[in-house]
Structure 1
Amino acid sequence: MSRADQIFCDMCTDIIEHGTTTEGELVRPRWEDGTPAYTIKKFGAVARYDLREEFPALTLRRTALKSAMDEVLWIYQRKSNNIHDLKSHIWDAWADETGSIGKAYGYQIGQMSHYPQGDMDQMDKVLYDLEHTPFSRRIITSTYTFADLSEMNLYPCAYSCTYNVTQGEPGGPLVLNLVLNQRSQDILAANNWNVCQYAILLMMVAQSVGMVPGELLHVIADAHIYDRHVPIVKELITREQFPAPHVSLNPEVTNFYDFTTDDLIVEGYKTGPQVKGIPIAV
């Protein structure tokens, strides 16, 4: 069965059975009817996924992998902060009349900095360092820029990536690993979406620099289930689990900036029925 399903079910059970509630506290999110959106939360949820073993997609319900990839490309490849450059509508609630979400996500990745090797933005520097100094311990992107927070329509949730290279098989390619740090996560709506996004990002970057995608380590500071999501989650984690799908990339693409969602190959993705009408707190 899919290891991602097992990790998700264990995480949800732990939150529901051992988490603490924010009910009655001052919280920012609201439901569509204006009432406060309270959560059951756990501090410090950590999950580890090895992409050499399987792709970490849930089978309890389907994760829209190409849409997840499109959002990752929007941030790290197109470096955009405008929803008009994004095919899905997940950011619509945070966009202004021009489509901008403020100085957030892709805007931050695209900011130029000066280095001895020349001027580069965050993603270009990652690719440069992996090519030239792969064992550096400083290969990081971060979208949490304090000076710009007041001009972001939503503070970044998944805010930093740390790339770390390890030795693979003797004489074989190096292994690229990734730590995703997340300050906050809506477990039902976003957990596997984010996991699959950054697994795909890891795969694309690894292929671009001639490495093998290895482990994705996901660290969530505030892992929470919203009060109106609890019954949905309880039903979801009782469902039948299936083997993980086989997910790969078009092997002919070796430039990070050439990938499109058409280059994502998904095979054997058997899932339970989709959960529709999940209320989203804004």
Structure 2
Amino acid sequence: MDAPSSKDQKGDDEATEIQNKNGEDEGQKFSYFPEHIYGERGYLNLLRYILSSGIPRNDRTGTGTWGVFGPQLRFSLRDGAFPLLTTKQVFFRGIVEELLWFIRGSTDSRELAAKNVHFWDANGSREFLDNLGFTDREEGDLGPVYGFQWRHSGADYVDCKTDYTGQGVDQLAEVIRLIRERPWDRRILIVAWNVRDLRKMALPPCHCLVQFFVANDELSCQLYQRSGDMGLGVPFNIASYALLTYMIAHLTGLKTGEFVHTIGDAHIYFNHRDALSEQVKREPRPCPKLRINRQVTDINDFKYEDFELVDYKPYPKLKMKMAV
């Protein structure tokens, strides 16, 4: 990728001049994004909209859903704000351990189960793998899913025990390098949707593309999620990618800016309706703060104990069954 041309620089200077002029009068600033998509209230507004106006649709699991297409949510990460929902208790340790599992490049669900994190147990079960035709695959081996794509994209997948050191493209390391060396770059992405490997995966990636954006010494992140289970999955996805943004900002000396969540098929399962109808009645509480308690210089060195969640005061848990 080439450095910005003089023409590009001139355009940037002109944009800055316009921005500065617009900033002369704070009252003249224009807000493009509607308020109803921001923060936890935005999430609850989307739940309400799907519950009232979502289109009934069949789905892979046979459970049935109400869905809408293409909504967006936005969450501030400034001043330590961490978007862990307060209108129900969300399993923070599980979010951290799963993200660290992705970062390690692991595809073995048993590693998470050993830490009492069971998000992937069903998709790695003997029955589930056999039904997909993976009868020769060891139980727990999910195939070339997220961690493999993040750290070894393009390598030939053998099994979850193979050492892939030096194989494929380390997309995560490349993102960190670009943020440090070329923060203005528009190609700071991680893509988990590898068409070549889809048939080898126990579950194709739902959160499949993430892009980072640096401005004013802040790191922001946008996730495109092709399929969003609004009741169970999306609250975890919001917190997981917000946490990843905090980690990369920590490594690159930036502040955290914003997390933007764009969802393709945003859906509520029929059997989640009662729980979510209860959740939307709850008034959001102030979001917690996130602290990283140790100076870490390598993405591979983070541990669960490095993260401290401050002032998290959620409502009680809401029980919902995962559709498999």
TM over 0.5: yes
- 1:18 equivalenced with 2:53 (yes/no): yes
Q: Which residue of 2 aligns with 1:92?
A: 121
RMSD of Structure 2 on Structure 1 (CA) = 1.8
The Cα shift of 1:153 comes to 0.6
Q: Which residue of 2 aligns with 1:226?
A: 269
- 1:272 equivalenced with 2:298 (yes/no): no
- Separation in 2, partners of 1:8, 1:217: 12
| Segment drifting more, 193-202 vs 89-98 | 89-98
The Cα shift of 1:191 comes to 1.5
Please identify the structure whose Cα radius of gyration is greater. 2
Gaps of 5+ in 1: 30-35, 168-173
| Residue pair 2:43, 2:73 contacting (<8 A) in 1 also | no
Matches within 5 A, 1:1-282: 4-22=39-57, 25=58, 27-29=59-61, 36-52=62-78, 54-75=81-102, 77-86=103-112, 87=115, 88-95=117-124, 96=129, 97-111=138-152, 120-167=169-216, 174-276=217-319, 278-282=320-324
Q: Match for 2:108: what amino acid?
A: N
| Segment drifting more, 44-53 vs 250-259 | 250-259
- With the length of structure 1 as denominator, give the TM-score of the two structures: 0.87
- Separation in 2, partners of 1:126, 1:18: 38
| Residue pair 1:185, 1:223 contacting (<8 A) in 2 also | yes
- Separation in 2, partners of 1:85, 1:160: 24
SS at match of 2:318: coil
- Separation in 1, partners of 2:75, 2:297: 24
- Separation in 2, partners of 1:211, 1:5: 24
| Residue pair 1:113, 1:121 contacting (<8 A) in 2 also | no
- Separation in 1, partners of 2:150, 2:234: 22
**Deviations along 1:110-168, whole A, 9 cap, x unmatched?**
21679xxxx8511111111111111111111111000110100111000111111112x
- Separation in 2, partners of 1:112, 1:38: 33
The Cα shift of 1:10 comes to 0.3
| Residue pair 1:4, 1:58 contacting (<8 A) in 2 also | no
Gaps of 5+ in 2: 1-37, 130-137, 156-167
**Deviations along 1:72-115, whole A, 9 cap, x unmatched?**
1111x20111112223111011115431111111111121679x
Q: Tell me the number of residue pairs that the alignment of Structure 1 and Structure 2 aligns.
A: 260
The Cα shift of 1:239 comes to 1.9
Q: Match for 2:204: what amino acid?
A: Y
- Separation in 2, partners of 1:252, 1:125: 21
Displaced runs of 4 or more, over 3 A: none
- Which structure has more relative contact order (CA 8 Å, sep 6+)? It is 1
Return the structure number with greater strand share. 1
**Deviations along 1:1-36, whole A, 9 cap, x unmatched?**
xx64312210100111121111xx4x311xxxxxx2
Identity %: 32
- With the length of structure 2 as denominator, give the TM-score of the two structures: 0.76
